[in-house]
Structure 1
């Protein structure tokens, strides 16, 4: 039995798995894709476009479509700059020169030759036209005295025949090397049968049986083994069209030379006639092929007709890949990319990159992070919004804590009463231990391991559970964000959205008792869900209607009379519009005194409702700075002028400081919230100018 097993093992063969997705492949990591897509969505892209942009850029580990397209363009440029189309003509010229030289030597050596004939032969050789084709035609009836010269001259005819066939049937040049007359006759018979088959198919006749007979007799000339007459026509038409594009790319002089030489192929014009008929049938059957294209070839390496046709096929493949990788046509998708052609032109590593992008795209659609809305457009799902929000909040935590690597916010009201719930301890937690749960976990683990507990139980980190607490204070928060055109014009659109999403994530995941309302104010103000704000496009209507935004904020505060109102205003401009009693918008610039008065009056209402107010001033406009400072003094609020990359941290910091009055002093921060033994008050200060220093 052992010997049998060894024999079976020795005969085993392992091949690439082709039964679908690799069952052993690790799950697709979507974190980088989701973060990139979320950033682009907040910048104003649709989720569909954002996903396509990520696929174009690629990931940190895989090339994107743009990089693959660049490699395709470089490959095409290499082909066209390396080669020229004189290869066959140069070979024919070399053979002709060698034949003429050998003949001259023979005429000089042959003392028995008739002098009149010698003189006539030398005169004919001396007067040969410079054109290779014309010279070969003129020497068609010449009686060669040199056997070597005759052999070289016949090689020209053989070369042309093999090259012409190699243009239509790849590999034929090598296959017919040293071919006999019988081989050439067999090739001519194949061409005649092929033309008859194609003509019958073009007339609409049933050619299935005829095709089978043709392949049984001539199949050796078609190594690709087409399975039907349609597949045969496709293969032949693609190569014939490439041959035509090569001809189109030649100069008129080159075409004329080859036309003359082609008539001498295999010593008669029959081959050229058969190939001409074949091209006509293929044009009629496949008019959609590119028969009129051309490419400039100005390199130094000469191409024969067959090799040149192969290069033009490669160029066609590369042009097709360029279109597929561009994904710019309607209904385009990654599945359109021809992976076999890609592997042939760029190698297997390019296929690996495309498959990785395909898996990412499919995983994004299947993972619940993107959904198709009723209008047919892709939308970020709440799951994706939560993922993006956690990432942004983690960045904010890193800024606030004054060090990178701060752990994710996991605290649920550390400053308050016990909630009765427990959870596993994580590094940085400062909540009290639940001793009963901790000891029980240690005993259970020890017993499960089969060890006795009589000698005591050793507590490990994984056994520890801590008690969660309820927050003592409920806050009612209104975040007003300026959505006027100037925010986008000055590059503040994306930081504004990032800030709103970070604060929304913090409130919805860690302070669920708080009520946050997001209000965007441009010409009008509008209360928005986070998905609406994140996907908001830039508006071009003029106006900064802070008055309307404060009206909505105060309405929000009144709905929560027992909560602490927190008013956060992010803006880069003075109010230039307000609501009239009839609901219409009044706009004027510079700001109208009436607009300022109504805005101030509504801010006074916020103060009477007990709101703790912070203005986040973006930009260095002196008029804005003066206006915001006076507004803050009026309501005993705060002005912060953060840099754009610190806006999120500044807003979150202000929210946390306002929601628990008296909890944190000037030198106390939200270290408890982030589960850090440090206090962020030790790592940041408010400057005298009100500028936030992270």
Structure 2
């Protein structure tokens, strides 16, 4: 037996498709980015994605609902009187056969027959009491005696099945030698556990025990702790089942248990076993109970199994909730999940765990000095690329044509080449592109075909051509009206476009609420929803004009996203002034600073959010002062409108006559290819 415990076994692979590609983080990152921009922390945003799941991926919430549904089905389908009903049926059958025999037996003394019939007629209504009373009855019918003996055999097998899964079937038709072997195993097991309780090293005793009694333990525990864990979990489930019975059911079962195998020895061994396990594993739930309300009766062994299932379902519910401190997807027991919900559920949970691990290890999340998680620059670039693709799709759908490229716009060649990326305007490096295709298809024997991955473009020297200031309203009204996230998405898309494709342009992001502030893209996208009221366009324009003056040889481009009139400005001494409705002095300061932008040559575009007529009149008047434009996009089109304005309102060949967010800019000088 000792050698058998270490033999290898093979079974069907249960971990999903072993040849499946690595998890795709793009969908997860897009959802996490949306939640971060909405004000969630990256940690919470990641947990929310794991809870919701993806388009083709079940999340934790759906798995938890399946767990809850199965738990409810168990309770609603079953009752705990299965063994009691089976005993009653066997008892009724035995009594019936005995009465038949008494009626047929012509040789029996009439007084003896009458006494026996009276005894059978007046049996107690309690099944346990009736079995106890008939224990010494001299059965005249062999069939009745066999049925009554089945009761003792059934009780013994059920009692053992409560503690050792599968015993009910294994001991069906058992001989006296088989029963003696069970009692011997129980005695040796209790001695082994009692040694552990006394602190004695019992590992060699465990090996000897398994060599002798290993056939009783098909789960093949590898050490004493594994054995105790398995036994304690099932014994605790048996105790919870007993606790869940009615007092009458519990009393009957206790009385019947004395009849198990026709000897009290078995119950003495089992009670001793329960006592040892409770002392060695006090952390198990020995006192819980459940309320069953179904009609399908469970035997003692099956009922104990149902309580083990309920315990596993409760554990899975907690694991899937991820609501405790330090929770990780690795906490989810995949084997347990497969047992309860099937292999596909385990595969889904494993994929979520791989997603979580990949997100933590991919560099998309970084831990700051104060211990909190933030989106890394790598994550910001990835999000920006996704948003820029969305912008390009919207622009392409609206215009239905491709932008032409002006020769020389990208700068002088450096002699180097790099892999093509979306939005590149540089010419192809034909030799490198063809070489990449040859190397990729070498040995295939087929014709040469180019793919996007083969393309390399000629690197050009960057030129400072535009100084861009994007002013985004961060006032309280932007939060109330659902414009907070679209504003951040717009800033990130423009930042990605300029930093990756037009690196010679200088972009400054300026958020303005009660006061204005120059922000890095990571700071802006992680900006909390601020309750402070105020729209300080004056301060924002001061910062924008300072940016333009730092780049005197660049074309100033001023892009202003707002949903309200100015209600705050800076006093000469630097103090903030706030007034609602807007004070004339606030309006005057804002107008004066916008005029300064116009004198610097800034090409100005206002992006008006909302339908407030007063705001529309104010912005129209402001735009006319500097020959600027006004765009009133839908929120979903804000990013495309801002990017389009940037592309079309800078450099030579600038379009004029801009009447809507989709006209006049798409044929501008700055190439933005949608292919």
Q: What is the 5 A alignment of 1:6-45?
A: 26-45=21-40
What's the counterpart of residue 402 of structure 1? 397
1:629 partnered with 2:624: no
SS of 2:133's equivalent in the other structure is: helix
1:97 partnered with 2:92: yes
What's the counterpart of residue 669 of structure 1? 665
- Using a 3 Å threshold, how does the CA distance of structure 1 residues 468 and 330 change in structure 2: closer, same or farther? closer
**RMSD (Å), alpha carbons:** 3.6
Instruction: Give the conservation status (yes or no) of the 8 Å contact 1:615–1:638.
Output: yes
Gaps of 5+ in 2: 1-8, 443-447, 658-662
SS of 2:337's equivalent in the other structure is: helix
Query: 2 CA distance for matches of 1:479 and 1:218?
Result: 78
Q: What is the 5 A alignment of 1:154-303?
A: 154-303=149-298
Higher mean Cα deviation, 593-602 or 547-556? 593-602
Instruction: Give the conservation status (yes or no) of the 8 Å contact 1:442–1:459.
Output: no
1:647 partnered with 2:643: no
What's the counterpart of residue 604 of structure 2? 613
What's the counterpart of residue 547 of structure 2? 556
Q: 2:486 aligns with which of 484, 492, 495?
A: 495
What's the counterpart of residue 3 of structure 1? none
Instruction: Give the conservation status (yes or no) of the 8 Å contact 1:157–1:265.
Output: yes
Query: 2 CA distance for matches of 1:405 and 1:123?
Result: 100
Query: 1 CA distance for matches of 2:156 and 2:619?
Result: 88
- Using a 3 Å threshold, how does the CA distance of structure 1 residues 162 and 113 change in structure 2: closer, same or farther? same
Query: 2 CA distance for matches of 1:412 and 1:383?
Result: 29
SS of 1:586's equivalent in the other structure is: strand
User: How many Å apart are 1:159 and its aligned residue?
Assistant: 0.8
What's the counterpart of residue 370 of structure 1? 365
Q: TM-score w.r.t. structure 2 length?
A: 0.88
- Using a 3 Å threshold, how does the CA distance of structure 1 residues 460 and 585 change in structure 2: closer, same or farther? closer
What's the counterpart of residue 660 of structure 2? none
Query: 2 CA distance for matches of 1:373 and 1:399?
Result: 36
Gaps of 5+ in 1: 1-12, 451-457, 679-694
Query: What is the aligned length?
Result: 654
- Using a 3 Å threshold, how does the CA distance of structure 1 residues 442 and 661 change in structure 2: closer, same or farther? closer
CA deviations 1:431-469 (Å, max 9, x no partner) are 8978xx7599889999x999xxxxxxx999999998787
1:420 partnered with 2:413: yes
- Using a 3 Å threshold, how does the CA distance of structure 1 residues 440 and 261 change in structure 2: closer, same or farther? closer
What's the counterpart of residue 454 of structure 1? none
CA deviations 1:143-198 (Å, max 9, x no partner) are 22211111111111111111011000111111211122232222222222222222
Instruction: Give the conservation status (yes or no) of the 8 Å contact 2:437–2:450.
Output: no
- Using a 3 Å threshold, how does the CA distance of structure 1 residues 403 and 613 change in structure 2: closer, same or farther? closer
What's the counterpart of residue 64 of structure 1? 59
Instruction: Give the conservation status (yes or no) of the 8 Å contact 1:431–1:468.
Output: no
User: How many Å apart are 1:526 and its aligned residue?
Assistant: 1.0
1:585 partnered with 2:576: yes
Query: 1 CA distance for matches of 2:512 and 2:189?
Result: 75
SS of 1:190's equivalent in the other structure is: helix
CA deviations 1:303-326 (Å, max 9, x no partner) are 100011111111111211121122
CA deviations 1:233-270 (Å, max 9, x no partner) are 11110000011111122222211221121121122333
Query: 2 CA distance for matches of 1:171 and 1:381?
Result: 54
Query: 2 CA distance for matches of 1:445 and 1:341?
Result: 48
Instruction: Give the conservation status (yes or no) of the 8 Å contact 2:468–2:505.
Output: yes
Query: 2 CA distance for matches of 1:622 and 1:137?
Result: 93
Query: 2 CA distance for matches of 1:357 and 1:164?
Result: 41
Query: 2 CA distance for matches of 1:209 and 1:353?
Result: 41
What's the counterpart of residue 692 of structure 1? none
- Using a 3 Å threshold, how does the CA distance of structure 1 residues 495 and 460 change in structure 2: closer, same or farther? closer
Instruction: Give the conservation status (yes or no) of the 8 Å contact 2:467–2:556.
Output: yes
Instruction: Give the conservation status (yes or no) of the 8 Å contact 2:392–2:674.
Output: no
What's the counterpart of residue 590 of structure 2? 599
Q: What is the 5 A alignment of 1:515-594?
A: 515-594=506-585
